[in-house]
Structure 1
């Protein structure tokens, strides 16, 4: 056993294997188109909080990069750590892409303290959360820190009334 300079065990290989790497927190931003997801994301990234944040943006269309150039960091520079998932909803067709993207980001763990996932406006947050319990290897390296759902305060009541009248429960097929 490796003893440190004070003879009290200095973190040899046996002890290092026992230590688990810290899990990376992931927060999901959801809400309908126009609710303010990208605006909130910009606000978070422009703050001087000291966190190194990676952003995964899910775009429903194949036209990528529409919002990415609009997002800047605290110094006013275009934010570079945006990873885009095209052509599908995270809770449906793009979920494997999210798992692969998170795996890639976690290989660069030293670069990031936090991951923000901006879901497309049609995504069902509950189904996105389930993704974090599907892959055991991923689950050991990240944890779902939270889900923030934004609503358009001016139109939320009429949208909910319309969904109730149609008998919809919300989610990707609802609002």
Structure 2
């Protein structure tokens, strides 16, 4: 199930009910200081309901989850491209639009002037007042005119011509507003599926960008770009030594543990690695890297999770065995989103709830924009009921988060 605040109504409050599972998501607007978003999950089951009833609900939930996933596959993938200054973003876009022949991509730019594509093509199309510039390899390029929703609305009828749509951003550190824009407009959400956030970084300069000190505790934009990304294209690797490359990958992993780092030169990359990967599919939460959770088991890592000296941004993996109490977990998530949404860049997890039979639940989010629902797979017989949650954010306190999640467990619960 995906559920978000309704467009145009900051006080909207609505609910979805699926197989006995109700997710309520309320947004009361957002300020610079804190988010007033409220997370509410209500498992609508009777205490005296039979085990067969619970299993039936679980089967129905899994079936609906699979149906939702199939619906997403019919949408056009939408990829957000971020990048540091001098990382090679212009070269990447030029490669996509004029050289590669594997994918038909529509690139949306903030301004035509940002990317040096064929000037004759640009001038010819602008003269004829065409919004879409067609390239020889089947790709296309257009600029944002007015706002993103209007631009994507103009592409709806043409989207079948393309394998994917890419949004090239200039100086954007936080993609959450873009994601919120797509999710809050039903027409756009019905036609485009957020596929991934891809960050392009120069191996030669990324370390300096990540270690740059900002005044008055301001957030380092380069660190944010790494933190929000699903894929990181580490470009110009031919300009650094093997030892330098190892150190860079280590720094990136400290900030964002689950993003895949893809090394490349001159911005050449197999587009299959960054397009059509469904990074925002909540089913991907099932495959969380187990290495991240080993830190919680007798680790000597500082409990504050402040593993990056300057940015205070890190990945924090927490695993707890047992069954979570729905009301207690509601309170935990509601308070966390209300007070720390601005600092929670990405989150995802696999959850085991008491009273829900063998049904697994999964979620992933950017700030307070949460996708949550039943997983297609169920807990298998004999499988340990271990809930796993990953947070990527600023000033994360691992000890505090672990204790709060552990306090949500139901003592002695067996189902």
Normalised by the shorter chain, which TM-score bucket? Answer: 0.5 to 0.7
Which SS does the other structure have where 1:108 is aligned? helix
Which SS does the other structure have where 1:54 is aligned? strand
2:144 alignment counterpart:
85
Give the distance between the partners of 1:53 and 1:159, measured in 2 at CA. Answer: 29
Write out aligned runs for 1:24-173 (5 A).
24-45=76-97, 46-49=99-102, 51-59=103-111, 64-70=112-118, 77=136, 81-85=140-144, 97-163=147-213, 166-171=216-221
Q: CA offsets, 1:77-127, max 9 Å, x none?
A: 5987211127xxxxxxxxx61111111111223322211111112452233
Give the distance between the partners of 1:157 and 1:115, measured in 2 at CA. Answer: 30
What is the count of residue pairs matched by the alignment?
Answer: 139
Alpha carbons of structure 1 residues 22 and 40: separation in structure 2 relative to 1, 3 Å: same
Give the distance between the partners of 1:143 and 1:57, measured in 2 at CA. Answer: 18
Please say if residues 104 and 139 of structure 2, whose CA atoms lie closer than 8 Å, have aligned partners that are also in contact.
no
Alpha carbons of structure 1 residues 70 and 37: separation in structure 2 relative to 1, 3 Å: farther
Q: Which has the higher strand share?
A: 2
**Large movers: runs of 4+ above 6 Å:** none
Residue segments in structure 1 that go unaligned for 5+ positions in a row: 1-18, 87-95
Give the distance between the partners of 1:79 and 1:107, measured in 2 at CA. Answer: 16
2:36 alignment counterpart:
none
Which SS does the other structure have where 1:151 is aligned? strand
TM-score w.r.t. structure 2 length? 0.29
TM-score w.r.t. structure 1 length? 0.63
Give the distance between the partners of 2:138 and 2:90, measured in 1 at CA. Answer: 13
Please say if residues 104 and 137 of structure 2, whose CA atoms lie closer than 8 Å, have aligned partners that are also in contact.
no
Give the distance between the partners of 1:78 and 1:140, measured in 2 at CA. Answer: 27
